[in-house]
Amino acid sequence: MSILYYCDDDDGTLLSALRQRLADTNIIDWQDQRTQLPHSDITSAVVWMPPADFFDGLTRLREIYVFAAGVDQLLAHPGLPANATIIRLRDAGMAQQMAEYCLYGVLHHQRRMMLLRRAQREARWAHEIQADLAAQTRVGILGAGALGSRVAERLALNGYPVTCWSRTGRTPKTPGWRSVHGAETLDAFLASSDILICLLPLTTATTGILDAALFCRLPRGAFLINPGRGGHQVEDELLAALASGQLSGAMLDVFSTEPLPVDHPFWAHPAIIITPHIAARSLVSESVEQIISSMEAIERGDSPQGIVDRQRGY
Ligand code: NAP
Ligand code: GLV
């Protein structure tokens, strides 16, 4: 068996770690070998953002290992083979980083850092700006998966009342946060989210979920944190919600066009913090071990964790 490899952004670290751990397997770097691929040998691929012609001629491809948690880009790939099993990463070091990212955003809003920074620029001793207590700052998380649930645990430890909303629900393994699920719970969930964090996958059901209709259902002055995907937020409706005061601010890691174009209105907006899709990155050793244990499970005839349901979109 041969594995075809293409991971956008890899400086060679991931590829060499894979080659080291799978010393007996032929791992072909798509970028080096493009013209002379022995297509019939290739049964697996390890990818992140593969180019348009990556899958051309791969008639025996059985498994595609995605070097990421989100698979929206891959599922939209025009050449994606219909029958290959797609396996994504679960956590792989990302949950801890995501928890830190969200904790920063939550503290930024709760401690009124945006207003305090503004007062500092004016050399104004703004003693009247008082933070709410953590216990009074309700956080709602859209998504209770590998990342959402870990963010919930972290924020609960810091004293925030946290609720996660998801499709089917999740039983909290640690105290301090609760899980609700289904469309009928969404209104009440949103109405009690002073800070809303989006950690949903981007699917047909979740595209554009962060829109004017949703912002209206949050408490006035709510704060949005979106490290999910840019396709979740309707950008002009987000700007309108900020202009009206319905939202007081946002911290965004993901955008409908990445990199965010230089003339985009988000850049200069005083109430938006922009980070360049860096909330959490998959760690090489964890990711390689996950990919290998999935390969071993398949070899044994077992079903590995992280298999993507193409119908559901995640
Ligand atoms: P996951 O484990 O698959 O969890 C997804 C969660 O979303 C699950 O709780 C799922 O509900 C819920 N969900 C999906 N569709 C839903 C719907 N229509 N309505 C309500 N809930 C829905 O995914 P993850 O590993 O936590 O990752 C989440 C996303 O984070 C990724 O897809 C990716 O877009 C993003 N991400 C961003 C970065 C970054 O650096 N910015 C890094 C990694 C990941 P069920 O539990 O009921 O299935
Ligand atoms: C990063 O955005 C991921 O989906 O892993």
Locate the domains of the chain by residue range: 2-91+282-300, 94-274
**CATH 3.60.15.10 assigned to 2-91+282-300:** no
Question: Which run of H or of E encompasses 3?
Answer: strand 2-7
pLDDT < 70 stretches in the chain = 33-38
48 CA distance to ligand 1 middle (Å): 17
Helix H segments across the chain? 13-21, 30-33, 72-75, 94-110, 113-121, 146-157, 186-191, 212-216, 235-244, 284-300
Residues with CB under 6 A from ligand 1: 69-70, 94, 143-148, 166-168, 170, 199-203, 205-206, 227-229, 253-254, 277, 279-280, 314
pLDDT for residue 137: 98
**Burial group, residue 280, by CB count within 10 angstroms (0-12, 13-18, 19+):** buried
Q: Is 284 in contact with 309 (CB distance < 8 Å)?
A: no
Residue whose tokens read 């010393």? 23
The rounded distance, in Å, linking the Cα atoms of 218 and 185 is: 13
CATH number corresponding to 94-274? 3.40.50.720
Region of residue 245 (phi > 0: left; psi between -120 and 50: alpha; otherwise: beta)? left
Query: From the alpha carbon of 169, which atom of ligand 1 is closest?
Result: 47
Task: Give the atom of ligand 1 at the shortest distance from the alpha carbon of 168.
Answer: 47
Largest CA distance in the chain: 70
Residue whose CA lies nearest to ligand 2 atom number 1: 68
The ligand 1 atom nearest the CA atom of 71: 32
Residue 33: the pLDDT is 63
CA–CA distance, 74 with 211 (Å, rounded to integer): 25
Q: Under a CB-based contact definition with an 8 Å cutoff, are residues 193 and 155 in contact? A: no
Q: How far apart are CA 258 and CA 210, in angstroms?
A: 18
Query: Could you tell me the distance, in angstroms and rounded to a whole number, from the CA of residue 152 to the centre of ligand 2?
Result: 18
Ligand nearest the Cα atom of residue 255:
1
Distance CA 233, CA 212 (A): 10
Just list the catalytic residues: 229, 277
Whose atoms come closest to the Cα of 101: which ligand?
A: 1
- The preferred substitution site among 94, 203, 278 for testing ligand 2, maximizing ligand atoms within 8 Å of CB, is 94
Q: How far apart are CA 314 and CA 200, in angstroms?
A: 9
* pLDDT score at 35: 56
CB 223 within 8 A of CB 245: no
Q: Work out the number of other CB atoms within 10 angstroms of the CB of residue 109.
A: 25
Count, residues in the chain: 314
